[in-house]
Structure 1
Amino acid sequence: MHISHNPKYTMITPWKSSLHEDFNMKNICRSYELMEQTLKVYTYREGERPVFHQPLTKGIYASEGWFMKQMEGNTQFSVTDPRKANLFYMPFSTRRLELFLYVPNSHSSKNLVEYLKNYLDDVISSKYPFWNRTGGADHFLVACHDWAPHETVLHMSRCIRALCHADVNEGFVIGKDTSLPETNVRSATNPLRDLGGKPPSKRQILAFFAGDINGYLRPILLQYWENKDPDMKISSHMGRGTKSRENYVQHMKNSKYCICAKGFEVNSPRVVEAIFYECVPVIISDNFMPPFFEVLNWEAFAVLIPEKNIPNLKNILLSIPEEKYQKLQMRVRRVQQHFLWNPEPVKYDIFHMILHSIWYNRIFQVSPR
Structure 2
Amino acid sequence: MFLSIAQEADLPRSLNYGLLDKYWSFNGDSRLGSDVDNELRSSLSSKWKLPFPPYPENPLIKQYSAEFWILGDLMTPEESRGGSFARRVFDVDEADVVFVPFFATLSAEIQLGMAKGVFRKKVGNGDYERQREVVDLIQGTDAWRRSGGRDHVFVLTDPVAMWHVRAEIAPAVLLVVDFGGWYRLDSKASSGNSSDMIQHTQVSLLKDVIVPYTHLLPRLHLSEDQNRQTLLYFKGAKHRHRGGMVREKLWDLLVNEPGVIMEEGFPNATGREQSIKGMWTSEFCLHPAGDTPTSCRLFDAIQSLCIPVIISDNIELPFEGMVDYLDFSVFVAVSDALRPNWLLGHLRSFSKEQRDAFRRNMARAQPIFEYDSGHPDGIGPIPPDGAVNHIWKKVHQKLPMIKEAIVRDKRKPPGVLVPLRCHCT
- The change in CA–CA distance for 1:98 and 1:150 in structure 2 (over 3 A counts) is closer
Query: 1:144–1:164: 8 Å Cα contact kept in structure 2?
Result: yes
User: Which has the higher Rg, Structure 1 or Structure 2?
Assistant: 2
Q: Which string of whole-angstrom CA distances, capped at 9 and with x for unpartnered residues, describes residues 220-250 of structure 1?
A: 1211111x1231112222x775344222112
* Partner AA of 2:364 in structure 1: R
Q: 1:350: which partner in 2? A: 387
Q: 1:184: which partner in 2? A: 215
What's the TM-score, normalizing by structure 1? 0.78
Q: Distance in 2 between matches of 1:205 and 1:232?
A: 6
Matches within 5 A, 1:1-40: 37-40=1-4
Matches within 5 A, 1:190-269: 193-196=218-221, 202-213=227-238, 214-215=240-241, 216-226=245-255, 228-237=256-265, 242-269=269-296
Amino-acid identity (%): 21
Q: Distance in 2 between matches of 1:319 and 1:149?
A: 45
Matches within 5 A, 1:19-98: 37-53=1-17, 54=19, 56-58=55-57, 59-73=62-76, 75=78, 76=81, 77-98=87-108
Q: Distance in 2 between matches of 1:360 and 1:152?
A: 26
* Partner AA of 1:303 in structure 2: V
The alignment yields a C-alpha RMSD, in angstroms, of: 2.7
1:258 CA displacement: 1.2
Q: Distance in 2 between matches of 1:337 and 1:74?
A: 23
Q: 2:356: which partner in 1? A: 326
Query: 2:178–2:294: 8 Å Cα contact kept in structure 1?
Result: yes
Q: Secondary structure at the match of 2:116?
A: coil
Q: Distance in 1 between matches of 2:237 and 2:69?
A: 25
**5+ residue gaps, structure 1:** 1-36, 187-192
- The change in CA–CA distance for 1:240 and 1:115 in structure 2 (over 3 A counts) is closer
**5+ residue gaps, structure 2:** 21-54, 82-86, 185-199, 375-380, 409-425
Matches within 5 A, 1:31-180: 37-53=1-17, 54=19, 56-58=55-57, 59-73=62-76, 75=78, 76=81, 77-101=87-111, 103-106=115-118, 108=120, 110=122, 112=127, 115-121=130-136, 123-126=137-140, 128-148=141-161, 150-151=163-164, 153-167=166-180, 169=183, 171=200, 172-180=203-211
Given candidates 290, 297, 300, the residue that maps to 1:270 is 297
1:99 CA displacement: 3.5
* Partner AA of 1:357 in structure 2: K
- Higher helix share goes to which structure? 2
What's the TM-score, normalizing by structure 2? 0.69
Once the two structures are overlaid, the 10-residue window that deviates more, 303-312 or 43-52, is: 43-52
Q: Distance in 2 between matches of 1:100 and 1:46?
A: 23
Number of aligned residue pairs? 323
Query: 1:197–1:277: 8 Å Cα contact kept in structure 2?
Result: no
Q: Distance in 1 between matches of 2:351 and 2:384?
A: 34
Q: Secondary structure at the match of 1:104?
A: helix
Query: 1:294–1:357: 8 Å Cα contact kept in structure 2?
Result: no
Query: 2:222–2:363: 8 Å Cα contact kept in structure 1?
Result: no
Q: Distance in 2 between matches of 1:183 and 1:296?
A: 17
